[in-house]
Chains A and B, each alone.
Chain A
Amino acid sequence: MIAARAMGGALLLAGLAAPWLASEYVLSVLIVSLWFAYVGQAWNIMMGFAGQLSLGHAMYVGLGAYAAAGLFVFTGIGPWLGAPLAVIVAVIAGAGIGWLGFRFQVKGVYFALLTIAFAEFTRILFDHITVLGGSGGLFLPVGQRSGVDLINLRGGPVMFYYVIFVMTVAITALSWALLRTRLGYQWQAIREDAEAAEAVGVPVFRTKLLAVMLSAGLTALGGVFFAFYYNTLFPEQIFAKSRSIEMILAPIIGGMGTVLGPLVGALLLTPLGELTMAVIAGLGVTNAGVRQVVFGVLLILVLWFLPQGVWPWLTQRWAKGRRQ
């Protein structure tokens, strides 16, 4: 507990000060790290808390991104309206998938396959929606890098850094709070044993559905950030299976079901990936794929030796160290 508080405090301070200390490159790595921490937290609510495995979360990123970006490109209305729209679209999609999956008792791995199928279906669908650019992509008009326009989310890297920083702190606080609500306990009961939870009166269907909807809506906000930060959207990339997988690495490696796990995982993985790429590029070898190979090996090692994840392992070690 004390370790978690100390860690949280240190991270918070370092995070606030980062733009003054970091070079533009390091700042861009931090932005990506925090983005993965954010979407990892969103995924963690569904899988880590409620035990429902989704391997199609790129779908909610894509839906959120396209909803807000489409609104901005065609009407000039910024994310202040685009973000709620993105959340609504993703929540409806999540509710649809969750309702179908839970209503028809699609469980475990089959449920995961269902989420992949919907994500892939949506990807190909967006490839053919010509109004939104189809497979040719959707491009947002790029604003002034020097100015800061929070309403339309146009500005430079420092602004984007603070936006994703606040989003990540907020979702981490939300996760912490959720775990202490009645709903949070019901999720955990379902995760551990759905039948037992049902037997003691947890409304399993509704509670699971809430986890999917909340997770989908929050993930869509990550999509909105993605759209306005990168300014280009391709269905091929944003809905990719590989992105769905990459999004869940941080929470799994950091520690599924914990509040700080996804954050620790993302702050570990993204810089590690960058470092690997830099080293490999320094050796003069082509670096495509190296990062994923390293992540894959790391994932196996964590699943094997630290089944709880890195963060719970660290806290346990600290607790042990204090007792001695």
Chain B
Amino acid sequence: MALDLTSFWLAISNGELMANTLVKGTLTGLVYGLMALGLSVIFGVVRVVNFAHGEMMVVGMYGAWLLAVHAGLDPLLAMPVMAALLFAGGYLLQRGLINRFVTRPEHVQFLLLVAVAMILANTALMLFGPDARTVQVDYAFDSILVGPLILDLIRIYAAGFAILLTLLLFAFFRFTLTGKAIRAAADNLLGAQVIGLDHQRLYALTFGIGAAAVGAGGCLMLLLIDATPMIASDFTILGFIIVILGGLGSLMGALVGGILIGVSEALAGTLIEPSMKSMVSFGLLILVLLIRPQGLFGRRG
């Protein structure tokens, strides 16, 4: 664990390097945020901890990869397709399976989703093998210069779409009738039932929306990293770290948590050692769980 102090100080005193690291981390973090958003939405409404979240993202990644290889579709264009497919999958999963477990103890629901995660990740392993799958887009190596900053076009696209989709989700929950109904069911389930809302349908819709968000996030993620079955559980944990950092159930918190993790990973990669970057995330998770379990933006439950 040789921590080279000289190179550490060289890096930290290099303003250009630091600025580029911060920007890169922020852009990646926005995609992380979108990925984690679905986890937060599902927990906030259905009160189920989706332990298969990273696995759902990997399904989105492989879907986008298949569409790119067999139909020549850009992952950005694959996004609506994968979002729709994962919406359907999430809806059915909630309706057909998770719904039967709502009255069961918390840990049973958690283990149920562990089982779903095992099935998803290992089905991907059976179908695609352990090899890394990647797509080549023509803008892969383009970048734009803004002063001393070098911005990869691919990261800007990914982050831009992440922001766009997040805004869409915000608008959905804020302005549409269904969105308001879902929030009502989350705030006061009994009240929602009294005024005649079909909470089972709303739960299924919410799970679908959460799955769609992470599916779209997977398409964006495919632009940044390779798809392998092994990253699935890592991203589940990363999702937890992000939403717990931001506060489970808070949309804003998920986005800010995503940026925080993106930046801290990028900083750790530049300043310490790339292979140790997730240690920083786990360290952050432990700290937040102990000191502020409701997260930065969450309300105390």
Residues of chain A touching chain B, judged by Cβ–Cβ distance below 8 Å, are 47, 53, 55, 100, 104-106, 108-110, 112-114, 116-118, 120-121, 124-125, 127-130, 135, 241-242, 245, 252, 286, 288-290, 292-293, 295-297, 299-300, 303-304, 307
Kindly state the separation between the CA atoms of A106 and B244 in the bound complex, as whole angstroms.
12
Residues of chain A contacted by B70 (CB below 8 angstroms): none
Q: Which of B104, B118, B240, B279 contacts A296 (CB 8 A)?
A: B118
- Size category, B interface: 35 or more
Question: Is the beta-carbon distance between B289 and A106 smaller than 8 angstroms?
Answer: yes
The residue in chain A whose Cβ has the minimal distance to the Cβ of B240 is: A113
The answer to whether B290 has its CB under 8 Å from any CB of chain A is yes
CB-CB nearest in chain B for A298: B115
Interface window among B6-14, B119-127, B179-187, B257-265? B119-127
Taking the closest CB of chain A, its distance from the CB of B153, in whole angstroms, is: 32
| B244 touching A108, Cβ below 8 Å | no
Question: B-side interface residues toward A, CB under 8 Å?
Answer: 1, 49, 97, 100-101, 104, 106-108, 110-112, 114-119, 121-126, 129-130, 229, 233, 237, 240-241, 244, 273, 275-276, 278-279, 282-283, 285-286, 289-291, 293
The reply to whether A124 and B108 contact each other, CB–CB distance below 8 Å, is: no
The answer for the CA separation of A299 and B51 in the assembled complex, in Å, is 14
Residues of A near B289 (CB, < 8 A) are 104, 106, 110, 113-114, 117
Q: Can you give 28 contacting A-B residue pairs, CB < 8 Å?
A: A47-B107, A55-B114, A100-B286, A104-B291, A104-B293, A105-B293, A108-B106, A110-B289, A110-B293, A113-B285, A113-B289, A118-B286, A120-B237, A121-B283, A124-B276, A127-B275, A128-B276, A245-B118, A288-B125, A288-B130, A289-B123, A289-B229, A290-B122, A293-B126, A299-B111, A299-B112, A299-B115, A303-B112
- Given A299-B111, A303-B112, check contact A293 B119 (CB 8 Å): yes
Closest to A293 in B: B122
Rounded to whole angstroms, the CA-CA distance of A121 and B218 in the bound complex is: 25
Q: Is the interface of B mostly helix, strand, loop or mixed?
A: helix
CB contacts (< 8 Å) of A118 on chain B: these are 282, 286
- Within 8 Å by CB of B118, from A112, A252, A293, lies A293
**Cα–Cα, bound, A113→B239 (Å):** 11
Q: How many A-B residue pairs have CB under 8 A?
A: 121
**Which B residue's beta carbon lies closest to that of A125?**
B279
Q: Contact: A292 with B118, CB < 8 Å?
A: yes
- Known: A106-B289, A296-B122. Contact between A241 and B1, CB under 8 A? no
Given contacts A296-B115, A296-B118, 13 further A-B contacts (CB under 8 A): A109-B107, A121-B283, A121-B286, A124-B279, A127-B275, A288-B125, A288-B129, A289-B122, A293-B119, A299-B111, A300-B97, A303-B101, A307-B108
List the B residue with the shortest CB-CB distance to A248.
B111
> Which residue on A lies nearest to B284, using beta carbons?
A117
Residue of A nearest to B278 (CB): A124
Query: Whole-angstrom distance from the CB of A135 to the nearest CB of chain B?
Result: 8
User: B275 is contacted by which of A128, A129, A295 (Cβ under 8 Å)?
Assistant: A128
Nearest Cβ distance between residue A53 and chain B, in whole angstroms?
Answer: 5
User: Complex: how many Å from CA A285 to CA B291?
Assistant: 49
Chain B residues with CB under 8 Å of A303's CB are 101, 104, 108, 111-112, 115
Choice from B1, B114, B117 contacting A130 with Cβ under 8 Å: B1
Contact B276 A242 (CB under 8 A): no
Contact A304 B107 (CB under 8 A): no
Q: Which residues of A contact B111 (CB under 8 A)?
A: 252, 299, 303
Contact A245 B114 (CB under 8 A): yes
A106 in contact with B1 given A252-B111, A289-B125, A296-B119 (CB within 8 Å): no
Q: Evaluate contact between A117 and B286: CB separation under 8 angstroms.
A: yes
Report chain B residues within 8 Å CB of A242: 233
Q: Which residue of the partner chain B has the closest CB to A292?
A: B122
Q: Whole-angstrom distance between the alpha carbons of A290 and B119 in the complex? A: 9
- Find the B residue at minimum CB distance from A252: B111
> Which of chain A's residues have a CB closer than 8 A to the CB of B241?
117
Specify which of B112, B121, B124, B289 lies most central, judged by the most chain A CB atoms within 10 Å of its CB. B289
A117 and B233 alpha carbons, distance in the complex (Å): 12
**Residues B123 and A129 in contact, CB atoms below 8 Å apart:** no
Contacts of B106 in A (CB 8 A): 108-109
Q: How far is the CA of A98 from the CA of B121 in the complex (A)?
A: 30
**Neighbouring B residues of A112 by C-beta, 8 Å:** 107, 110
